[in-house]
Structure 1
Amino acid sequence: MARHDLPASLVVFLVAIPLSLGIAVTCGAPLIAGLVAAVVGGLVAGALGGSAVQVSGPAAGLALVVAELVRTYGWRATCMITLFAGVLQIVLGRFKVARTALAVSPAVVHGMLAGVGVVIALSQLHVVLGGQPERSALENLIQLPDQIVHNHSHAVAVGVLTIGMLLLWPRLPRVSVVPAPLAALTVAALTAGVLNWDIARADLSKGFDEWATPAMPVGDWHGIAGAVLLVALLAGVESLLCSVAADRLHEGPRADLDRELTGQGVANLVSGALGGLPVAGVIVRTTTNVKAGARSRWSAILHGVWVLLFAVCFGWMVTLIPLEALAALLVFIGVRMVNLGTVRGLHGHGELPVYVLTMGAVVVIGLAEGVLIGLGLAALSALRRLTRVSVQVRLEPGDRWHVLVTGSLTFVGVPKLTGNLRAIPEGATVDLDLNVDFMDNAAFEALHGWRLEHERAGGTIVIDEIHAEWYTSAASGTRVSSAKTPPQLPERWWLPRAYRRGNPLSTIPIRHKGRWVPSRAEPGDTAGPTPGTQPGGVPDLLAGTADFQRRTAPLVRPFLTRMARRQETSHLFITCADSRVVPSLITASGPGDLFTVRNVGNFVPRYGASPADDSVLAAVEHAISVLGVRTITVCGHSRCGAMAAVLSAGEKTAGLPGLGRWLRHGDHTLARYIRSEDTGEDEGPFDRLCRINVMQQLDNLRTHPPVARLERAGRLQLVGMYFDIGAARVHVLSREGFTPVAGVRS
């Protein structure tokens, strides 16, 4: 603790003092109320909260609410409202509803804070310019030009000096260890004192005189209850969001949000009882705490101790601070609450309108009204996204139309659906894919009516539902569940076995040495291996063949029976032996489609090359002379081990004479790679070598006379292909280079 948390607590203390005083000024509360909230935020929220590094205290985001409460009910009543808000937070924390607060759209929260920042900046800018703030942000904005033109007093000089120091101080080397707010207020106070400027100064002694206990607010209880709810929710949400953000800043224990909400409630109860401002987790102090090296909650607790010692022993120093300097500090804080980084992030997710409208409503109308408007727009935006439907209609080979409907098919999407379906001509054959997670009655009626009309006109419609059978169930009159079901996937033969553990493949019984035994022991099976079986059970490969016999063989047997007497294919596919490259998977091919040759590095030895290798040559000759293939494809792939061995100049093949001789067929690839230049299209030199290898093997194919003769005659096509394993992306060689294959269906 002494090594990390003690220094961090001192840094946070130096930041907390000016911020707490400035927020108290904005709220129209006694200066001592800001320090009380800082002490309670450190000692109580720091000890009882659920975050190890979060620092709590008076928050600028609550300043507008507190200022309005002070004007409406008075300061003592505001303290009681804070106390009641704390009790409400404790109740919410005990019922473990903290994570519910995270359901509030961040766009609304950030828009609210930005709006509060604009209002604070506009009001305090009038103080900096030597005037008095108006009651609304619009009035402050209207009066601002007149303030700028006519006021050039010492107060303006103090404000400009403070803002200048806030901007300049972090850029100065070796002095940035001192927080910029503390440095700015110190310079402003010293300058005003030395030059004997005529300015207003903070008076903490008056604050002690006004330090009062809470009193029951007088007025309409509906308004008082609303104020309690507003303070509790705003302080709670800001604290919880700050906790979540703090977790991203450190590697220590994660925050317990329910405990954090309860701790904040106790802190607000104590702060209200002692005549302090409302307490919340503050991102500025929390970030400062983490950057200063804090490791545990002791940093926040100690920072509260230092604030208490300062208020008791050095409170007289506050009288040296110009009020205009505090106002300038608040202007700076208010402007920084409009975070451009947050704006860019929200814009990328399409939530910028919610942010802008919330901020504008807070500035023009008020805080509570702005938040409600923002929540309403966020809800409408979410509803629009949830009911969004995509309808794609296209003509495919064979005069078949393909219609893909994706999203939630509700009455909102009926005009779009029917408009797209009208593009399909009468009598056409239609493949309709319904990738919908919900379908209401209006959408079903529209779709079903179109289907009946299209079929009466002689058309054919084949419906494939990817999720639950919404259309089929509705057509039969069956009640449809409102819950989305997992998509109906085909047999996942293409998954690696490591991803099929626990699927039926793992427990298929297999006949072994005259007995049926499970392919793998069930979890929790402690009976030991079956007598007569091999230790560890039957290999996965046999389990896979058993699964084929049970599931797949009945489906493929009809056309395999027709293929059994003769192989008819038009494509020779030469690829690497790498286990991650599955030709039938990346080309969506089935039995009889590909005549495949696999070897290390997808090499095609040049005609007459040494060392001689007849295996590839035999396959090429058989393919073009016996099978009559019309296409030969050479397919390479990313991160090819053969290419890494070629680059190693024999180091990786030491003690492997057969592999070393075989890799000599890559010498021309290496020479071509050395002569080539980086075009910037590859992901690195190794990736470029793997691609160049495909080009070289195509040239090697052309050294074989039968291949060259058939290509010149236009009876044979050579194709280069490249499979990016990490991206699961296939590229095809063209004159411009390797081009990604575009998906036919999204």
Structure 2
Amino acid sequence: MSDQTKSSEFFRWPAIRNDIFPSIVVFLVALPLCLGIAIASGAPPAAGLISGIVGGLVVGFLAGSPLQVSGPAAGLTVIVYGLFEKYDIQLVMLTVVLAGLMQIAAGSLKLGQWFRAVSPAVVKGMLAGIGMLIFCSQFHIMIDDQPRKGLEVGGVHLEAGLANLLTIPQAIGRVFAFDESKSHHLAAGLGLLTIVVIVCWKMTPKKFQLVPGPLLGVLAATLISEFFDVPIRRLGESIPDSFLSSFVFPDLAIWGTAPFGAILASAAGLALVASAETLLCATAVDQMHDGQRTNYDRELLAQGVGNSVCGLIGGLPITGVIVRSAANVGAGGKSRWSAIMHGAWLLLFVAFLPFLLKQIPVACLAAVLVYTGYKLVNPASIRELARYGKSEVAIYFATMIMIVTTDLLIGVMTGIVLAACKLLYVFSHLEIKRVEDPSGENLTLYLIGTATFMRLPMLASELEKVPANSQLHINLERLSYIDHACLDLLMTWEKQHEATGGSLAIDWDGLAARFYERYGDKRRTESSGEAEDSRTAIKNTVGSK
């Protein structure tokens, strides 16, 4: 189908009509999350709404992943909060613009696939660390308290994430103090109600779950707080009467005097994390449906355009968001129209009904993020990683702990370095076990691990110890890989050994079995003759060189 035909199909009414209902569902999911993520990021709530609108109306049209929905993401709250701690809003905007330009450049250079080359243990550890930070900081906001910016313990300064975690028992004590002059217990009650509604709603039949639980939780808490006139913090003055007054535009004088070295470093970190989260989310969304697959370079470019626009008008940085995307697929979304229209619904709502947003208690939005943080930790992912070895679990925990105790970038880099060290170990580790009969005429060498040129001296040393005129058997059942250098060594040594009256038998079947078992018994039994021919061909080819 030509591009012109695809374009005409895209703008036809049946395609638009099909995505109206899914777009409403995504809008209802996005509304409370946009507000809550903005508050968690230390930004005005309107900034989250601006980003949600841009994620729909701008990124939606350009997206390379047709069913992925973009907007402000919980995974970026830690980075954005740190930016607002260091810079004023003008420099934060500049950082977001530069991050967007970096994404545009990466997409134009066809680097989209490379952003996916991150170990799953690092990604899941990153999400778990972010989830812990969100949970701990929003727990304090959920009880109408302030999150900690740091903590001094025995002369040692603890970063905000660890400080928030360690002071949760203190926060719980404030709730149960029932001080009528403060609102901690009232806010906690509404927050707990919000979480209970979200959890209970997940137990209802799926046909009802098209109405998102977070929206119902926020709605229930807001109605109760209004009916009983509960004295707690609300969005109130954070939402302007006119949405147009929420936009913040660049001040070129401030941008011209910005510390560009520090800004560029912050932008690079933001671009890296946002791109990785977006493209991993796109991969997950592709597994949820049978439609058009993701064009990663186009998706990366679209995200860059969206972030550049957000930075120019005072919005938060955006990524592809799995919660909204899953809601889109589950509601029956078929094209980019659902993401586009959800941005339009957000725009219409904040333009004409801002007074409704002002009544929302801050505690119930924080409760939505407390639940979101818990889901990001996802203990089930630990069991899944454990299937691939203890080292994967260790990388997961190292990444998570470093993020919580230091910062996001250090945590992610720690995980990447550990994953690289593991990869180096796997591709350089070779264990050789020698077994011989009492006569010393029959020997077996068991090769375990990976036989590459890096372990060629070890293999050569073991072969040199084999007595002349002996029969050597090399068992490859527990060998995962052997490269050409080691194969060439074996073939050359075989010729020399045969000249002394000895023999060499290599367990090619053991190595081949490791390959064929990946395809099941059917593939393995289809043509054992072909397998034998292949092994013979390999041996002859290497031996002839």
TM-score exceeds 0.5: yes
- Which residue in the other structure is 2:366 paired with? 327
One-letter amino acid of the structure 2 residue matched with residue 171 of structure 1: M
Q: Does 1:118 align with 2:151?
A: no
What residue number does 2:60 align with?
Answer: 46
Matching residue of 2:328: 289
**Contact residue 117 and residue 338 of structure 1 kept, 8 A:** yes
1:651-730 equivalences under 5 Å are none
Q: Is the 8 A contact 1:130 1:151 kept in 2?
A: no
Say yes or no: does 1:202 pair with 2:235. yes
Measured in 1, the distance between the counterparts of 2:291 and 2:438 equals: 59
Match of 2:515 in 1: none
- What is the CA–CA distance in structure 2 between the aligned matches of 1:36 and 1:416, rounded to whole Å? 62
Task: Give the distance between the partners of 1:324 and 1:493, measured in 2 at CA.
Answer: 66
Is the Cα–Cα contact under 8 Å of residues 394 and 403 in structure 1 kept in the other structure? yes
CA displacement at 1:332 relative to structure 2: 0.5
> Which residue pairs with 2:265 in the alignment?
226
> Distance in 1 between the 2:464 and 2:187 partners?
70
Residues 126-156 of structure 1: per-residue CA shift (max 9 Å, x gap): 1123321112111112211111112242111
More helix by share: 2
Answer yes or no: is the 8 Å Cα contact 2:131–2:374 preserved in 1.
Answer: yes
CA distance in 2, matches of 1:414, 1:343: 38
Q: Residue 166 of structure 1 is aligned with which of 198, 203, 218? A: 198
Matched, 1:28 2:42: yes
Larger displacement relative to structure 2 (231-240 or 197-206): 197-206
Q: Are the counterparts in 2 of residues 271 and 277 from structure 1 also a CA contact under 8 Å? A: yes
Q: Is the 8 A contact 1:129 1:155 kept in 2?
A: yes
Does residue 157 of the first structure (1) align with residue 157 of the second (2)?
Answer: no
Q: Specify the alignment match of 2:317 in structure 1.
A: 278
Task: In structure 2, give the amino acid aligned to 1:401.
Answer: L
Structure 2: 5+ residue runs without aligned partners? Answer: 1-14, 150-159, 177-184, 509-526, 541-545
- The partner residue of 1:402 within 438, 441, 444 is 444
SS at match of 1:53: coil
SS in 1 for 2:30: helix
- Residue 276 of structure 2 aligns to a residue in which SS? helix
Identify the match of residue 494 of structure 1 among 529, 534, 543: 529
The 8 Å contact of residues 41 and 57 in structure 1, kept in 2 or not, is answered as yes
Cα 1:103–1:205 shift into 2, 3 Å = closer
Match in the other structure for 1:367 = 408
- Partner of 1:11, secondary structure, is helix
| 8 Å contact kept, 1:20–1:34 | yes
Paired-residue identity, % = 37
Aligned in 2, Cα 1:241/1:396: closer, same or farther, shift over 3 Å? farther
Shift of the alpha carbon at 1:396? 7.7
**Contact in 1 for aligned 2:40/2:77 (Cα 8 Å):** yes
What TM-score does the superposition give when structure 1 sets the normalisation length?
A: 0.58
Alignment of 1:400-439 (within 5 A): 400-405=442-447, 407-409=450-452, 428-432=470-474, 436-437=482-483, 439=485
Question: Aligned pair in 2 of structure 1 residues 116, 417: CA closer, same or farther (>3 Å)?
Answer: farther
Structure of higher CA gyration radius: 1
Could you say which residue in structure 2 is the equivalent of 1:193?
Answer: 226
Which residue of 2 is the match for residue 673 of structure 1? none
> Which residue of the partner structure matches residue 532 of structure 1?
none
Change (3 A) 1:309 1:420: farther
Verify the 8 A CA contact 1:388 1:413 in the aligned structure 2. Answer: no
Please tell me the residue identity of whatever aligns with 2:49: L
Q: Choose 257-266 or 335-344, whichever is displaced more.
A: 335-344
Matching residue's letter, 2:114? T
Higher relative contact order (CA 8 A, sep 6+): 2
Shift of 1:80: 1.6
CA, structure 1 residues 493+300, in 2 after alignment: closer, same or farther (shift >3 Å)?
closer
- Separation in structure 2 between the aligned mates of residue 166 and residue 433 of structure 1, nearest angstrom: 56
What is the identity, as a one-letter code, of the residue corresponding to 2:442? R
Question: In structure 2, what is the equivalent of residue 252 of structure 1?
Answer: 291
Q: 1:144 is aligned with what amino acid?
A: I
- The Cα shift of 1:253 comes to 1.0
Residue aligned with 2:110, SS: coil
Asked if 1 retains the 8 angstrom alpha-carbon contact of 2:103 and 2:301, the reply is yes
Residue type of the alignment partner of 1:179: P
Q: Does 1:181 align with 2:214?
A: yes
Contact 2:239 2:357 in 1 (8 A): no
Q: Does the CA contact (< 8 Å) of 2:444 and 2:474 recur in 1? A: yes
Give 1:214's aligned amino acid. Answer: P
The residue type equivalent to 2:443 in the other structure is: W
Q: Secondary structure of 2:55's partner?
A: helix
- One-letter identity of the residue aligned with 1:64: V
Alpha-carbon separation, structure 1, partners of 2:438 and 2:349: 81
- Return the match for 2:381 from 335, 342, 366: 342
Q: Distance in 2 between matches of 1:240 and 1:331?
A: 25
**Equivalent residues of 1:115, 1:359 under 8 A apart:** yes
Match of 2:385, SS state, is helix
Q: Measure the CA separation in 1 of the matches of 2:322 and 2:437.
A: 56
Deviation, 1:413, is: 8.3
Please tell me the residue identity of whatever aligns with 2:250.
P
Task: Quote the residue 2:250 is aligned against.
Answer: 214
Number of the residue aligned with 2:517: none
Structure 1 pair 433/146, CA: closer, same or farther in 2 (3 Å)?
closer
Secondary structure in 1 matching 2:38? helix
1:427: Cα distance to partner?
Answer: 7.1
Q: Secondary structure at the match of 2:283?
A: helix
Q: Take 2:506 and 2:165, find their aligned partners in 1: how far apart are those partners?
A: 60
Counterpart CA distance in 2 for 1:384 and 1:438 is 19
| Deviation per residue, 1:349-379 (Å, 9 max, x gap) | 2322211111111111110100110110010
Change in 2 beyond 3 A, CA 1:158/1:493? closer
Deviation at 1:162, TM superposition (A): 1.1
Aligned residues of 2:16 and 2:337 also touching (Cα < 8 A): no
**Number of matched residues?**
467
Q: CA deviation at 1:426?
A: 8.7
Aligned counterparts, 1:2-81, within 5 A: 2-81=16-95
How far residue 429 of structure 1 moved from its aligned partner, in angstroms, is 3.1
| 1:478-557 map, 5 Å | 494-495=529-530
CA RMSD across the alignment? 3.4
Alignment partner of 1:494: what SS? helix
- Please say if residues 98 and 264 of structure 2, whose CA atoms lie closer than 8 Å, have aligned partners that are also in contact: no
Are 1:387 and 1:408, in contact at CA under 8 Å, matched by a contact in 2?
A: yes
1:143 maps to 2:167: yes
Indicate conservation of the 8 Å contact 2:64/2:302, yes or no.
Answer: yes
Unaligned runs of 5+ in 1: 467-491, 505-550, 552-746
Q: Is this contact kept in 2: 1:123–1:133, CA < 8 A?
A: yes
Offset at residue 341 of structure 1 (A): 3.5
Amino acid in structure 1 at the alignment position of 2:230: W
The 3-state SS of whatever aligns with 2:400 is: helix
Instruction: Quote how far apart the aligned CAs of 1:105 are.
Output: 1.5
2:453/2:483 contact within 8 Å kept: no
Looking at structure 2, the residues matched to 116 and 59 of structure 1 have their Cα atoms a distance apart, in angstroms, of 11
Distance 1:372 1:420, change over 3 A: farther
**Equivalent of 2:106 in 92, 95, 114:** 92
What is the deviation of 1:67?
A: 0.7
- State the Cα deviation string for residues 532-560 of structure 1 (Å, max 9, x = none): xxxxxxxxxxxxxxxxxxx9xxxxxxxxx
Show CA shifts across 1:142-193 (max 9, x none).
2111111122421111111111111112213464331101100000001111
Following the alignment from structure 1 to structure 2, what is the Cα–Cα distance between the partners of residues 98 and 255? 11
- Measured after TM superposition, the shift of residue 90 of structure 1 is 0.8
Q: Is the 8 A contact 1:405 1:436 kept in 2?
A: no
